[in-house]
Structure 1
Amino acid sequence: MTPPTRTLPARTDPQPPLLAGSRAGLADVLARLDGAVDAAAKARRPLGPLPAGTPTEVLAAAAHALGPAELPAEGLGADAALGLLATVLVEHGIDLSHPRAAAHLQPPALSVAVAADVLASAGNASLDTYDSGPSALAVERWLIGALTGLAGLGERADGVLTPGGSLSNLMGLLLARDAAAHRRGIDARDQGVAALPGPVVFCSELAHFSTHRACAALGLGEAAVHPVPVDDRRRMRPDALRAALGALGPDRTPVAVVATAGTTDFGSVDPLPQIAEIAAGHGMWTHVDAAYGFGALFSDRLADRLAGLELADSITLDLHKIGWQPAAAGVLLVSDTTAFTALDRQVAYLNPVDDSEAGYDGLLGRSLQTTRRPDAVKAAATLLTYGRAGLGRMVDTCHDLARHAERRIQAEPELELVAPAELTTVLFRHRTADPAAADAFNAALRRHLLETGTALIGRTEAATDGPGTPKRVCLKFTLLNPTATTDDIDALVDAVLDAGRTCARLIKEDDAA
Structure 2
Amino acid sequence: MVIQSVNSSIVEDLDSFESYFLTDSPQSIAAYREAMVTAQEAIIEDFASQKQPYSGANPQDLAKILATIEPCPEFGCQLQQILKYISENILKNSAIVSHPTCIAHLHCPPLLSSLAAEVLISASNQSMDSWDQSPGATLLEQRLIDWLCKIFGYDAKGDGVFTSGGTQSNFMGLLLARDAFALRRLNWSIQQQGLPPEFQRFRILCSDVSHFTIRQAASLLGLGQQAVVMVESDRNYCLDADAVERKLAELQSKDLLPIALVGTVGTTDFGSIDPLSELADCARKYGLWFHVDAAYGGALILSDKHKHKIDGVWAADSITVDFHKLFYQPISCGAFLVKERDNFELIKLHADYLNPETNEDAGIPDLVTKSVQTTRRFDALKLFVSLHSLGRKKFARMIDSTIELAQETASLIKSKEKLELANYPAINAVVFRYLPSQNATDFDCKRANQVNSQIRMQLMQQGIAILAQTKIGELTYLKFTLLNPRTSVVDIKRVLQAIQNIGDELRGTE
Pairwise same-fold verdict (TM > 0.5): yes
Please report how far the alpha carbon of residue 300 of structure 1 lies from its aligned counterpart in structure 2 after TM superposition. Answer: 1.3
CA deviations on 1:69-113 (whole Å, 9 max, x unpaired) are 242222222222223323333211110111110000001111110
CA deviations on 1:95-147 (whole Å, 9 max, x unpaired) are 01111100000011111101101101111111111101111102211211221
Residues 435 and 70 of structure 1: CA distance in aligned 2, closer, same or farther (over 3 Å): closer
Please report how far the alpha carbon of residue 411 of structure 1 lies from its aligned counterpart in structure 2 after TM superposition. Answer: 2.1
Please report how far the alpha carbon of residue 357 of structure 1 lies from its aligned counterpart in structure 2 after TM superposition. Answer: 1.3
Residues 347 and 43 of structure 1: CA distance in aligned 2, closer, same or farther (over 3 Å): closer
Residues 21 and 344 of structure 1: CA distance in aligned 2, closer, same or farther (over 3 Å): farther
Residues 53 and 125 of structure 1: CA distance in aligned 2, closer, same or farther (over 3 Å): closer
1:57 maps onto 2:56 in alignment: no
* Contact 1:37/1:86 (<8 A) preserved: no
- The match for 1:251 among 255, 265, 268 is 255
Cross-structure match for 2:102: 101
Letter in 1 for 2:143: W
Query: Take 1:362 and 1:74, find their aligned partners in 2: how far apart are those partners?
Result: 41
Residues 246 and 300 of structure 1: CA distance in aligned 2, closer, same or farther (over 3 Å): same
CA deviations on 1:298-351 (whole Å, 9 max, x unpaired) are 111111000000000000111101111111112111001111111211111112
Letter in 2 for 1:191: Q
After alignment, is 359-368 or 48-57 more displaced? 48-57
Query: Take 1:230 and 1:40, find their aligned partners in 2: how far apart are those partners?
Result: 43
1:17 maps onto 2:12 in alignment: no
* Contact 1:168/1:332 (<8 A) preserved: yes
Please report how far the alpha carbon of residue 214 of structure 1 lies from its aligned counterpart in structure 2 after TM superposition. Answer: 0.3
* Contact 2:149/2:337 (<8 A) preserved: yes
Alignment of 1:135-154 (within 5 A): 135-154=136-155
What fraction of aligned residue pairs are identical, expressed as a percent? 33
After alignment, is 491-500 or 179-188 more displaced? 491-500
SS in 2 for 1:246: helix
Residues 201 and 121 of structure 1: CA distance in aligned 2, closer, same or farther (over 3 Å): same
SS in 1 for 2:507: helix
1:499 maps onto 2:509 in alignment: no
Cross-structure match for 1:119: 120
CA deviations on 1:244-288 (whole Å, 9 max, x unpaired) are 112213732221000011111111111000100110111110000
Please report how far the alpha carbon of residue 474 of structure 1 lies from its aligned counterpart in structure 2 after TM superposition. Answer: 0.4
Alignment of 1:157-172 (within 5 A): 157-172=158-173
Query: Take 1:215 and 1:39, find their aligned partners in 2: how far apart are those partners?
Result: 42
Cross-structure match for 2:2: 7
Cross-structure match for 2:440: none
- The match for 2:466 among 448, 451, 456 is 456
Query: Take 2:105 and 2:247, find their aligned partners in 1: how far apart are those partners?
Result: 33
SS in 2 for 1:101: coil
Letter in 2 for 1:89: I
Query: Take 1:374 and 1:188, find their aligned partners in 2: how far apart are those partners?
Result: 30
CA RMSD of aligned residues (A): 2.0
Cross-structure match for 1:189: 191
- The match for 1:239 among 238, 242, 253 is 242
Query: Take 1:355 and 1:138, find their aligned partners in 2: how far apart are those partners?
Result: 14
Alignment of 1:21-420 (within 5 A): 22=24, 28-43=31-46, 47-61=51-65, 63=66, 67-183=68-184, 184-197=186-199, 198-247=201-250, 248-249=252-253, 251-420=255-424
Query: Take 2:42 and 2:56, find their aligned partners in 1: how far apart are those partners?
Result: 21
Query: Take 1:343 and 1:133, find their aligned partners in 2: how far apart are those partners?
Result: 22
Query: Take 1:291 and 1:399, find their aligned partners in 2: how far apart are those partners?
Result: 16
Query: Take 1:240 and 1:426, find their aligned partners in 2: how far apart are those partners?
Result: 26
Residues 40 and 378 of structure 1: CA distance in aligned 2, closer, same or farther (over 3 Å): closer
Residues 79 and 272 of structure 1: CA distance in aligned 2, closer, same or farther (over 3 Å): same
Letter in 2 for 1:441: V
Task: For structure 1, list consecutive stretches of 5 or more residues without a partner in the other structure.
Answer: 1-5, 463-469, 509-513
Residues 139 and 190 of structure 1: CA distance in aligned 2, closer, same or farther (over 3 Å): same
Equivalent pairs counted in the alignment come to 492
Cross-structure match for 1:3: none
SS in 2 for 1:121: helix
Letter in 2 for 1:240: A
SS in 2 for 1:461: strand
Cross-structure match for 2:457: 447
* Contact 1:46/1:52 (<8 A) preserved: no
SS in 2 for 1:426: strand
Query: Take 1:30 and 1:304, find their aligned partners in 2: how far apart are those partners?
Result: 47
After alignment, is 246-255 or 314-323 more displaced? 246-255
SS in 2 for 1:321: coil
Please report how far the alpha carbon of residue 404 of structure 1 lies from its aligned counterpart in structure 2 after TM superposition. Answer: 1.9
Query: Take 2:343 and 2:112, find their aligned partners in 1: how far apart are those partners?
Result: 35
Residues 40 and 491 of structure 1: CA distance in aligned 2, closer, same or farther (over 3 Å): same
Query: Take 1:179 and 1:396, find their aligned partners in 2: how far apart are those partners?
Result: 38
Query: Take 2:215 and 2:456, find their aligned partners in 1: how far apart are those partners?
Result: 28
1:438 maps onto 2:448 in alignment: yes
Please report how far the alpha carbon of residue 21 of structure 1 lies from its aligned counterpart in structure 2 after TM superposition. Answer: 6.2
* Contact 2:431/2:478 (<8 A) preserved: yes
* Contact 1:160/1:331 (<8 A) preserved: yes
Residues 309 and 102 of structure 1: CA distance in aligned 2, closer, same or farther (over 3 Å): same
Residues 29 and 489 of structure 1: CA distance in aligned 2, closer, same or farther (over 3 Å): farther
Please report how far the alpha carbon of residue 413 of structure 1 lies from its aligned counterpart in structure 2 after TM superposition. Answer: 1.7
SS in 2 for 1:87: helix
Residues 414 and 194 of structure 1: CA distance in aligned 2, closer, same or farther (over 3 Å): same
Please give the TM-score of this superposition, normalised by the length of structure 2: 0.92
Please report how far the alpha carbon of residue 58 of structure 1 lies from its aligned counterpart in structure 2 after TM superposition. Answer: 3.0
